[in-house]
Structure 1
Amino acid sequence: MSDNERPWKQGDEKRVVLSGHRRPPHPQAIDRGPVTAGERVSVTVVLRRARDEELKSRVHSESQQRPHARHHLDREAFAEQHGASLDDFAELRRFADAHGLTLERTHQAAGLAVLSGSVDAVNQAFGVELRQFDHPGGSYRSYVGEVSLPASIASIVEAVLGLDTRPVARPHFRLRRAEPGEAEGFAARSQASSGAYTPLEVAQAYQFPEGLDGSGQCIAIIELGGGYDEQSLAEYFASLGVPAPQVVSVSVDGATNQPTGDPSGPDGEVELDIEVAGALAPGATLAVYFAPNTDAGFLDAITTAVHDPTHKPSIVSISWGGPEDSWSSASLSAMNRAFLDAAALGVTVLAAAGDSGSTDGEQDGLYHVDFPAASPYVLACGGTRLVANGGTLERETVWNDGADGGATGGGVSQVFPLPSWQEGANVPPSANPGGGSGRGVPDVAGNADPATGYEVVIDGQTTVIGGTSAVAPLFAALVARLNQKLGKPVGYLNPTLYALPQADVFHDITQGNNDIANQARIYQAGPGWDACTGLGSPIGVKLLQALAPQGATPEA
């Protein structure tokens, strides 16, 4: 019997601690004791992939080419060339069988497997004790001890996610502040300020190329809670005079389209995303991936969308995120690998940069950027205050309404190094003690101030919403139009955008900062790239012309 065929025996091997899995309890959490023994637990195991370094090199090489000249992998070829080894999956199955766990499903291309079992089985398999915690925001499951595995399998496992079920992300939308006489926290459109816009008006201000509707494209929208009401969507698109896009719901890890009926809750995020993207790309399919708000759920949503062989998204829009330091390093690495996959497949990923300014809502006196916007494979979308008249952009400044009203996220990553394509952007050192270089956030920006926000319908109620949550689907729709016109996905856009003549394709935003109350004005807008609005807001028709093959002059 070969080593690969021998049965597992519990307790006969030295265990190895997996790095990057430490999750301290929430500061206000109360330990309620061990998780009920009868509860069944599912975890996502991230397996190594032998050719990931080759994949990075491929993506880097392809990103040096203009979008039309790139050779993106198709999903079948990706799974064959860069998926996890079938031998590793077999080894994982033997481990599961020996520890009383069930191998629920595998995903070769993403290199993921889902294992499930009793609390006792999971505790023994991963060397932890699962415990229940309560805190002011709700209850969650976590663990004490170090996540570990037998030495002979530890070498093939990069991460074990889902042992901890605390929410890892929050939606990045902001309701317009209520005016006198309005219900607190939810401002009706009938009383909205004249500064609010429809998505069509914002697109006109940014000169989105006309005569395009995103036909032939699929925009994946990631949601970690809430749901959409089909009647609200139908009412909204009819009010704009645009055809309703095809919207499909995709369940991930058991989560489904479940509207809460509370327009101030996660439904606000879900319907905002669909309505902004759908209004500007009604010819595209909008595939909404619902997943639990955990590190495993978020990762599974991303990998399901990126590698989806049915809907085949060319764009992924993400309006959820959290400060870099709120994630385990294992989670960050697993998510970043999924975004690398997207780049190799020609899928453009856009994410909101956050609505809590340069601290990203942290109270530790330091500066933070939001993830997944901080990933170098993601187009980070910051926020502005837009003043437009008759479809013409008159003035645009950094969105900053202070601690109560919100401000665009942005700054310098403490996790991801400065990408080569940002080396000429004059990204400043981190404002945190010790400085240091890092990936600058955001890359681009668009209208996000709730005072100049988007007129939408949420759970049957018409209102105005802002936040960088709106910017990701706004620009996702722009990418859908670009893809449609160019006849090929533009894919990983970051290196391309930084190499373009920026004054020709972006409106440079030079006024404002994203430091909220009681903070020094560390990150200030100015000429060129800045840590508030990135390269600026796009001039859509100019961007299309710049991305077209040399010599081609696509009609706007």
Structure 2
Amino acid sequence: MPSVPPNAKPPGYSPRDIRSAYDLDGLHGHGRTVAITVPFHDPNLESDLAVYRRQFHLRPCTTANGCFRQINQRGGTTPPSGSDSLSALEAALDVDAVSAACPDCRILVVEADDNRVSNLFAAIDQAVAQGAKFVSGSYGAPEFAHEDVFDHHFRDHPGIAFTFASGDSGYGTFYPAASPYVTAVGGTSLHRARNRRGWTESAWTGTGSGCSPYEPKPSFQHDPLCTNRTTNDVSADADPATGLAMYNTFGQFGLGWLVIGGTSLSTPLIAAMYALAGDPAPGTYPNSYPYARPQRFNDIITGTNDPCGGTYLCTAVPGYDGPTGIGTPHGVAGLRAWNR
């Protein structure tokens, strides 16, 4: 859909819908920065973001007013030489998702030279070096032996909320989401409903989840069928059929207004909600916070991402389960440190 007539609503959920679904109205992220880490360069990112925010009557977020920054993995403003259509779509979705959940947040985009592991981690480290307390990565790969050698990028930075996508291929675990030091984000299907909340959710069939074959179980997890790290921790809307309205003009997916989902959507949404909750407590790992306040989440009890025998590792059940974790945020109190 290349254009939307004046005063017409683009397809997909709007910022107002997202804030209604997760009870975010009245919350503000003034002065807090959400960092988006992506491979390659999107030359249209700032101008596309301007169209998105103007459409939904959000205040401008630009380089000129200090709200938006786009840097390379070394911290400079010279962009990576390479571009990629899918990565540009990802970047546009990420900044629109952050804008939807936290319109007053600042946005820092750190572009890695390419999608090699060393460069992606350089971008993550650069986001931390820039002072971001909330760092999102909508990428990952199936788990692999010795992946834990990369965990120090997260372990060495307590007090920072790292959010990573659990994948869009159904049951199975991805890294970095499986790291015990990051928030593994699963996905739901989000629908309007005639109930008290006004919305209903079920586990999205495409979300990743499961039991890590390599990563140790963090102390705050107590589910019985996995002696190692279980993904996920929390979840949010990810079903492309119930996706976010977003705007992108770069590359082969540069069609203007689109409706996009995946855990590439739920991950920056959760990062923005952490920002709404306030800075994490020093010395703590924010992926532990939801486990201390499960009552602050919408417990998702229907849906599955694979017929894995019907266990909670792939099927939504009351309480904790793999596809949706503790659940989806109901406000942001569950994303705050337990001593606050």
Instruction: Please give the range of the TM-score, normalised by the shorter of the 2 chains.
Output: 0.7 to 0.9
| Corresponding residue number in structure 1 for 2:15 | 199
Could you say which residue in structure 1 is the equivalent of 2:209? 410
Verify the 8 A CA contact 1:249 1:288 in the aligned structure 2: yes
Alignment pair present for 1:290 and 2:107: no
Question: Secondary structure of 2:228's match?
Answer: coil
Q: Which amino acid aligns with 1:511?
A: T
| Match in the other structure for 1:493 | 286
Q: Could you say which residue in structure 2 is the equivalent of 1:395?
A: 200
Quick one: distance in 2 between partners of 1:544 and 1:374?
19
Q: How does 1:305-454 map to 2 (within 5 A)?
A: 305-306=127-128, 308=129, 311-325=130-144, 329=146, 332-343=147-158, 346-358=159-171, 368-388=172-192, 392-400=197-205, 407-423=206-222, 426-429=223-226, 437-454=227-244
Q: Any conservation in 2 of the 1:227–1:258 contact (CA below 8 Å)? A: no
- 1:418–1:440 CA contact under 8 A, matched in 2: yes
Tell me which residue corresponds to 2:101.
280
CA distance in 2, matches of 1:547, 1:528: 19
User: Partner of 1:287: helix, strand, or coil?
Assistant: strand
Per-residue deviation at 1:240? 0.7
What secondary structure sits across from 2:164 in the alignment? strand
| Distance 1:539-1:189 versus aligned 2 partners, 3 A rule | farther
1:394 is matched by which residue type in structure 2?
A: W
Aligned-pair CA distance for 1:335: 2.2
Cα distance, 1:496 vs structure 2: 2.6
Correspondences of 1:213-232 after superposition (within 5 Å): 214-229=29-44, 230-232=46-48
| Bigger relative contact order, structure 1 or 2 (CA pairs below 8 A, ≥6 apart) | 2
Note closer, same or farther for the CA distance 1:466–1:228 as it changes in structure 2 (3 Å cut).
farther
Query: Structure 2: how far apart are the matches of 1:510 and 1:480?
Result: 27
The match for 1:526 is 317
Q: Residues 372, 453 of structure 1: CA spacing in aligned structure 2 closer, same or farther, 3 A cutoff?
A: same
Question: Deviation of residue 250 (structure 1)?
Answer: 1.7
Q: Aligned pair in 2 of structure 1 residues 490, 317: CA closer, same or farther (>3 Å)?
A: farther
Find out whether 1:537 has 2:328 as its counterpart: yes
Q: Post-superposition shift, 1:282?
A: 3.3
User: Partners in 1 of 2:338 and 2:310 — Cα distance?
Assistant: 35
Contact kept, 8 Å, 1:379 with 1:443, in 2: the verdict is yes
CA distance in structure 1 between the aligned counterparts of 2:263 and 2:173, rounded to whole angstroms: 13
Q: CA deviation at 1:203?
A: 2.1
Partner amino acid for 1:202?
A: I
Distance change (3 Å), C-alpha of 1:544 and 1:249: closer
Find the aligned partners of 2:229 and 2:107 in 1 and give their Cα distance: 30
CA contact (8 A) 1:199 1:474 kept: no
Change (3 A) 1:189 1:528: farther
Query: Matches of 2:149 and 2:337 in 1, distance apart?
Result: 33
- Say which of 475, 481, 487 aligns to 2:276: 481
The correspondence for 1:506, drawn from 286, 297, 309, is 297
Q: CA deviation at 1:303?
A: 1.7
Alpha-carbon shift at residue 261 of structure 1 (Å): 8.0
Larger radius of gyration between Structure 1 and Structure 2: 1
Aligned with 1:248 (options 69, 73, 78)? 69
Q: Which amino acid aligns with 2:268?
A: P
Contact 1:386/1:393, CA 8 A, preserved across alignment:
no
The Cα of 1:544 is off from its aligned counterpart by: 6.8
- Which whole-Å CA distance do the structure 1 matches of 2:142 and 2:204 have between them? 19
Greater shift in the superposed pair: 464-473 or 225-234: 225-234
SS in 1 for 2:185: strand
For 1:258 and 1:203, locate their aligned partners in 2 and report how far apart those are by CA, in whole Å. 36
Question: Structure 1 CA distance, aligned partners of 2:278 and 2:225?
Answer: 33
Question: What is the CA distance between 1:260 and its match in structure 2?
Answer: 4.7
Q: Normalised by the size of structure 2, how large is the TM-score?
A: 0.85
Partners of 1:382 and 1:409 within 8 A in 2: yes
Query: Does the C-alpha gap of structure 1 residues 411 and 513 become closer, same or farther in structure 2, counting only changes over 3 Å?
Result: same
Q: 1:458 aligns with which of 216, 229, 248?
A: 248
Deviation, 1:494, is 2.3
The number of aligned residues is 321
Seen in structure 2, the aligned counterparts of structure 1 residues 451 and 539 have a Cα distance that, compared at 3 Å, is same
Q: CA deviation at 1:541?
A: 5.0
Partner of 1:71: none
CA distance in structure 2 between the aligned counterparts of 1:472 and 1:490, rounded to whole angstroms: 23
Whether the 8 Å CA contact 2:10–2:257 is kept in 1: the answer is no
| Cα distance in structure 2, aligned partners of 1:221 and 1:489 | 21
CA pair 210-491 structure 1, distance change in 2 beyond 3 A: farther
Contact 1:280 1:478 in 2 (8 A): yes
**What is the root-mean-square deviation of aligned Cα atoms in Å?**
3.0
Distance 1:543 1:208 in 2: 12
2:88 to 264, 267, 282: 267
Q: Which amino acid in 1 is paired with 2:185?
A: C
Alpha-carbon distance, 1:305 to partner: 1.7
- Rounded to whole Å, the distance in 1 between the matches of 2:321 and 2:3 is 33
Does the Cα contact within 8 Å between 2:192 and 2:198 map onto a contact in 1?
A: yes
Report the 3-state secondary structure (helix = DSSP H, G, I; strand = E; otherwise coil) of the residue aligned with 1:529: coil
Task: List alignment gaps of at least 5 residues for structure 1.
Answer: 1-186, 359-367, 401-406, 430-436, 550-556
Q: Is the 8 A contact 1:209 1:541 kept in 2?
A: no
CA distance in structure 2 between the partners assigned to 1:455 and 1:290 by the alignment: 23
- Confirm or deny: 8 A CA contact 1:228 1:257 kept in the other structure: no
The percent identity for this pair of structures is 33
Aligned partners of 1:223 and 1:199: how far apart in 2? Answer: 22
SS of corresponding position for 2:272: helix
TM-aligned CA distance change 1:457 to 1:194, over 3 Å: closer
